[in-house]
Amino acid sequence: MTTRAEEPSAPTRSAGEQRTGEQRTGEQRTGEQSAMILATAQKIRAAGPSSPRFARDPVNLPAIRNWTDAIGDANPLYTDAEFAARSVHRELVAPPAMVQVWTMPGLQPPSGAGTGADPLGQMMRALDEAGFTAVVATNCAQTYHRYLRHHELLSLRSELTDVSGPKRTALGDGWFVTTRNTWYSGDELVAEMDWRVLKFRPAATAPPATAAGPATTARSATTARSATTARSATTAGSATTAPPMRPPVSADTEFFWAGTRAGELRIQRCGECGALRHPPGPACLSCGALRNQGYQVAAGTGTVYSYVVHRHPPVPGKRLPIIVALVELAEGPRVMAELTGAEPDEVYIGMPVRTRFIPIDDDLVLPGWQPDEQAGPTESAPTESAPTESAPPGGALPEWTLRVTPTVVVAAAIATRDFYPVHHDRDFAEQGGGKDIFLNILTTTGLVQRYVTDWAGPAALVRAVSIRLGVPCYAGDTLRFAGRVTDDAGPDGRDRVIAVTGSCSLGNHVTGTVRLAAAGSTA
Amino acid sequence: MTADSGALAGTPTSVRTPTSARTPTSARTPLISGTTAIAGIGATEFSKDSGRSELKLAVEAVRAALDDAGLSPADVDGLVTFSMDASAEIAVAREVGAGELTFFSLIGYGGGAACATVHQAAMAVATGAANVVVCYRALNERSGRRFGQVSVDAVRAVNSAGLDNGWHYPMGLATPAATVAMAARHYMHAFGATSADFGAVAVADRKHAATNPSAWFYQRPITLDEHQQSRWICEPLRLLDCCQETDGGVAVVVTSLDRARSLKKAPVVISAAAQGSGPNQYTMTSYYSGDLTGLPEMGVVARQLWSQARLRPADIRTAVLYDHFTPYVLMQLEELGFCPRGEARNFIAGGAIELGGALPLNPHGGQLGEGYLHGMNGIAEAVRQVRGSSVNQVPGDGPVLVTAGTGVPTSGLILSPA
């Protein structure tokens, strides 16, 4: 157990700002305390892996459904028995990213169970006593040896692998605590996870500009100190002039704006004759019907019908120049929006584009366009073939935008069996310095997995998910995922590794990778 | 001419068309065609800083127009302006010294209202609703509210206009130039037109303004190269594709042809007057149907004008085509039938739209050269061309065509000598 010179975890501001405790005032006392912490850590580590802690329930469909509902993961592998029967798994399986859920302590853990023997719990208590009362999870690297089937009862062994500190981080001085967790089904090792948290002494001064998402497993009554001032600074940076203009909304048009908030491009569809129209209005422009005007969610692809490069005069909320494109959707109607991700001289009439969503604030999400690099051969709907075969290294995944409503935060926290109050109790979260309740790391792990499997299709086999948390993602924010296929082929040289980032208004919420097995691999 | 003596002079002698008859456009015979006339025009100076209120500019223009017609304020019983105008009819009536009004009307859709004010006035006169109607527009468009800037207010109201703008302004398409640029880009793509083709319009306007002492750009012509060197505003539009910003006011007096015959100036007959709105129309953003290569609302106006006046494009001596942005001049030539669709760039080549060419456009210099008076100064120039009093007179006595704002529900006139 040593204090390492470089700690690659998220909340540190920069290597240059990190200092060891010995450099600060009161170094004598700090040194003694550090020695005690390290001694405790040494003792816990020497004890080796904990005895197995069993999941309360076996892998089961109701829990899986709660999870897929909350994460919004529609992969039929998890809930559609007929589909699953035809898959390589031959039966329903659990989402790999759920592995940690099965052994979460839950709201009412059995008394005495786990906590005493849990190396992480022991280390947390030692750090609590030393004044490092707050905790954030910073890293989670899961490897799945196989998919889990219903009725398997998992057990978890946990081992303390590293304690390093004290470190000065953006959140305050603290210690990084790393554990290795292994899940067994019977005697079979089915999954592993390296898990790192920062246990820190909350800074007494103004909250930092960036902060990691608070941890989710330690249930000690600690304070999650999070960013509260960064939001305004971030939004100010995106708008150099006046506030962005907002669209008026009427009863005829509100579905469209609710759609963008939900990450959907909704096009008015007449329930009488099926005709589409945009912009929306009270009547069908084709048959005249006033009743039964609904909408359909556009695929989000289209081609540039015309465009401009606006350079002058200033436009409130925009940094000029901007490209604004009138796009003809694959479904027919035309939609106007800003086009990003291309230089003015790269845009042309007929250029394939794909929708994206531009969060402005808590209430407004604008539609946008980005070049559709997947247009053409792969524009067909997701199929059961593994698209990793055709996705070249360097290829970008389409962006995915998720409106992180309070419902998403709470439903996902509960679906991941994480009852730490910062994920469902706003008062509690605010008392801890947070702006609101925020996503837990198990949810973020699930969202990263969903983002990649939505793109790769239900036949894709997830081998590993490894993420590092950055800023918290509060309720009301919008998460925007981007990804690309790396040229990393994994340990066996046949896998595909997808690099993923998820950003929100405060900055990068998550960076990580998802490793997919090559097509044709067995489950 | 006093108010008393002319009280009923504008009443038409007969009503020719049953109002219930929904006849096709081509068969309509409106009351106004050939029965009404423009009797006077007036204007303030055109500047960048008028130094006075818009209401005062309106009053000055109206009084100048009445003087030009040989009428007094007491003769006025109708007033028409743009819904965008800052000075209400009653305020202008008060300040001008008009008494009772029997007709007052506001026309919407920005510059699309220009010729429609005359259309409204002519209808009022033709039906006997009023006898002397003054159309006016006054604005401090440079020193006050500048239309070329982004109007945040345009997306504040939850009404149909605000909602329509809500599909464009927040996305960054928020200026008149940008809305025109969007259509211009597709027009270029469809027909092979270039920025230089748009530039030919600017060069013609500035050439004409250079010999018009009332023009802001008097004695300041430009070359096509200068146009091509001017900076981008909103690609594909350059600075010199965009009209000026102007302070000033213009007024036009409409009365019956019979009464006009007895006034100071020779009557300028309203041979045709029409408004037009296209299918699936928006204000500057009719992007959601059609092929974005034309101005369908101007086509609606054109069909009515030719029908009412019983004229063809070849009969027109000179035309004042609304030129807030150059690309729409090309599209108007096509919509009005001066050339086939997509052919305007060839039609205008070689100086055809300059003085001395086959169809001189905007002899006063247009809104790029003379001033941006929301199209009303173009009506005044058309009147001068019919009277034979323009500083840039186009020879002959043929009819003159005027159009109003493009990209919006619009209007047009054909004016002829009596």
For residues A355 and A249, the answer to whether their CB atoms sit within 8 Å is no
Nearest CA among A510, A12, A511, A519 for reference residue A213: A510
CATH of the domain at B118: 3.40.47.10
Residue B336 lies in a domain: no
> Are residues B163 and A253, on separate chains, in Cβ contact within 8 Å?
yes
**Residue A334, min C-alpha distance to chain B (Å):** 6
* Cα A107 from Cα B367, distance rounded (Å): 74
Assess if residue B92 is contained within a domain: yes
pLDDT tens for A135-183 read 888 899 999 999 999 999 999 999 999 998 888 877 778 899 999 999 9
**pLDDT at A203 (0 to 100):** 65
Could you state, in order of their start, the residue ranges of all structural domains in chain A? 15-225+400-516
Q: Is the distance from CB of A137 to CB of A197 less than 8 angstroms? A: yes
According to the model, what pLDDT value does residue A428 have? 86
Q: Which two three-digit tokens encode residue A481?
A: 């995922």
**How many Cβ atoms are within 10 Å of B41's Cβ, its own excluded?**
27
Contact of A56 with A108, CB cutoff 8 Å: no
**Count: domains in chain B:** 1
Q: Give B159's Cβ-side CA count (13 Å radius).
A: 4
The C-alpha atoms of residue A357 and residue B85 are separated, in whole angstroms, by 38
The answer to whether the peptide bond before residue A208 is cis (omega within 30 degrees of 0) is no
| Rg value, chain A, Cα | 25
Which among B262, B304, B251, B332 has a CA at the least distance from the CA of B82? B251
Query: Which range marks the domain in which residue B123 is found?
Result: 30-140
According to CATH, the topology of domain A15-225+400-516 is: Thiol Ester Dehydrase; Chain A (3.10.129)
pLDDT tens digit sequence for B67-119: 999 999 999 999 999 999 999 999 999 999 999 999 999 999 999 999 999 99
Supply angle C-alpha B30, B32, B38, rounded to 5: 155
Across the A:B interface, residue pairs with CB atoms under 8 Å apart total 125
In a domain, B40, yes or no: yes
CB B323 within 8 A of CB B240: no
Is there a contact between B166 and A311 if contact means CB atoms under 8 Å apart?
Answer: no
Q: Residue A417 has which token pair?
A: 């069996």
Name the burial class of residue A251, with classes exposed (0-12), middle (13-18) and buried (19+) by CB atoms within 10 angstroms of its CB: exposed
- Hey, is the C-beta of B2 within 8 angstroms of any chain A C-beta? no
Residues of chain A with pLDDT under 50: 1-24, 114-115, 205-240, 376-391
The verdict on residue B377 lying in a domain is no
Interface touch B182/A308, C-beta < 8 Å: yes
ipTM reported for the complex surpasses 0.95: no
CB-based contact A367:A260 (threshold 8 Å) = yes
Q: Which of B136, B282, B322, B328 is catalytic?
A: B322
**SS3 sequence of A160-209:** EEEEEEEEEECCEEEEEEEEEEEEEECCEEEEEEEEEEEEECCCCCCCCC
With beta carbons under 8 A apart, name residues in chain A contacting B165.
248
**Using the beta-carbon criterion (under 8 Å), do B166 and A326 form an inter-chain contact?**
no
Radius of gyration over every alpha carbon of chain B, rounded to an integer in angstroms:
20
CB contacts, 8 Å: B245 with chain A: none
Biggest alpha carbon–alpha carbon distance for chain B: 60
Q: How far is A401 from chain B (nearest CA, A)?
A: 18
Reply yes or no on whether B287 is catalytic. no
Do the domain assignments include residue B72? Answer: yes
Minimum-distance CB partner of B163 among A248, A322, A338: A248
Residue stretches of chain B with pLDDT short of 70: 1-30
Judge contact between B386 and B416, C-beta under 8 A: yes
Q: Is B288 a catalytic residue?
A: no
Assigned domain for B177 exists: no
- Interchain pair A322, B172: CB under 8 A: yes
Alpha helices in A10-54 (DSSP H): 27-46
Residue A338 to residue B168, Cβ atoms within 8 A: no
